[in-house]
Structure 1
């Protein structure tokens, strides 16, 4: 590895958000904040042995901050303690705090990289607080969709039954969603947060489920930073390419770059929702393109 790792915490009074900081051994190009999706944590972007997108970019000179949302990963307190949180709190409090924290460390606009649902939350935050745009130099999303429109047997099992029905039942039973224990996620999820996602996944309007803020309307007024959306050819449900493109349209990001990862498009393998961030092939594939793109933005 050409970087060092350490853990830091952002204190939000009632809870602390964990950030894994990846510091290049060489001169730093620019900072990157990484936001994970549902039923996972910041480890989707890094490993202690140096694997993952954040590690790759740190080795290229980009200092990374991989966040664990409240109650997930190493953030405190844990969900098993009774802690709960809604989407509204992540959108209006946590993501702004994380952006501001990283910006304050470097006094330099940052890139935000998001996986899956993390990209939905990021878009909502930036649409709601456009004043944050001056602190965001670029954003990159992997498999980000808001509505799951595909209809299949797999969708009925994974979404209609597991996510929309069984997971809420677990939430009522345990007080949170123990997705890791039940082996359908890499981390657990707050019940309130999951219930909020269910409504949007089903196709409810892109409005806040707590206070009614209209994210869809606000998105039309946003001057988005340079953006790049990735979809994977073998991502049939959780980030189906059609749903990724629909989210780009819904949020008026038509100027964004879009790449479908698959052999037929010149990539090294047919990636899926997870492997597009975790496969070792990515180090010689789209990770290289991302590094080059970010370096060009830093120069400009």
Structure 2
């Protein structure tokens, strides 16, 4: 019998949309709240399974109260992305993240002190810090798994997954279907709206970090700010989506705060050569990067 409980919390974003937030904790937990954000063509399941595997259950067993988000239309948020869905990452940054935070505060009684992201989720989190600088001092530390904004690496896989698929094929599929059917195409575990794909595609190019809706300049907003301490996690087999060069460029445009990059693979003394997805899902992660996330949070508690 597990010592953890899982519960679905529902957030009414507006009259037409309901967001899903998965709560994972011990029954009597009183530890700090942790906010988890998935990346593009994903949902919150990157952080947990119903059988309590993954990073969120790992931290929950240590006493943390974990809250795993599904962005609008992804995972168990309703309705699922379909033709005509008009929202994108601007809405995720300006409306959905604040709504999740409000729900976490209402449920836990405190602002989420630790933030965890995978891939594009780290870009959304830092964008939220730029839009809502009042969040910064309330967060003790962050851990980002394979988070980058623009792709600088020149690996062959980057040209296939980035230039060929994300920049060329994906817009064609999105226009044909009215949304990007990434799950059906086996490009990811969830779909994207036309707008969310377009906006992330523009930022993945080596272009300014500026919002296409209102021109808000995230890079300029963060230039002189110190964000919470961020542990950046890279995998030695993550050759196309988040090489160290890509992560370092993201770190450089993310303000003045403490940031640390660690690379995970056998050549660095770890138990597995990790890639972009299995840095969170491989069984050996509990012996490697999960331990370092725990130590990072304890260090900055």
**TM-score bin (small chain):** over 0.9
Identify which of 77, 102, 105 aligns with 1:103.
105
From 158, 163, 187, the counterpart of 1:160: 163
Q: Of 122, 126, 147, which residue of structure 1 is paired with 2:125?
A: 122
Q: Which structure 1 segments of 5+ residues have no match?
A: none
Deviations 1:135-193 (A, max 9, x none): 32221111111111122332222111111111111111111111111111111111110
Pick from 16, 20, 32 the counterpart of residue 30 of structure 1.
Answer: 32
TM-score (normalizing by structure 1): 0.95
Q: List, as ranges, runs of 4+ consecutive aligned residues in structure 1 with deviation greater than 3 Å.
A: 295-298
Question: Matched residues in 2 for 1:254 and 1:136: separation?
Answer: 12
Where does structure 2 lack aligned partners over 5 or more consecutive residues?
none
Distance (Å, rounded) in 1 between the aligned partners of 2:155 and 2:271: 27
- Paired residue total: 298
* C-alpha distance in 1 between matches for 2:228 and 2:8: 28
| Superposed displacement of residue 293, structure 1 | 2.8
Q: Name the CA distance, whole Å, in 1 between partners of 2:22 and 2:194.
A: 25
Is 1:218 matched up with 2:183?
no
1:256 counterpart = 2:288:
no
Per the alignment, in what secondary structure is the counterpart of residue 102 of structure 2? helix
Distance 1:108 1:296, change over 3 A: farther
CA contact (8 A) 2:155 2:239 kept: no
Structure 2 length normalisation: TM-score? 0.94
Q: Determine helix, strand or coil for the equivalent of 1:97.
A: helix
Matched with 1:56 is 58
Residue pair 1:88, 1:210 contacting (<8 A) in 2 also: yes
Per-residue displacement from partner, 1:37-79 (whole Å, max 9, x unpaired)?
Answer: 0001000000011111001111111111111100111101111
Q: Please provide the CA RMSD for this pair.
A: 1.5
2:296 is matched with which residue?
293
What are the within-5 Å matches in structure 2 for residues 155-194 of structure 1? 155-194=158-197
SS at match of 1:76: coil
The whole-number CA distance in structure 2 between the counterparts of 1:193 and 1:30 is 31
Match of 1:7 in 2: 8
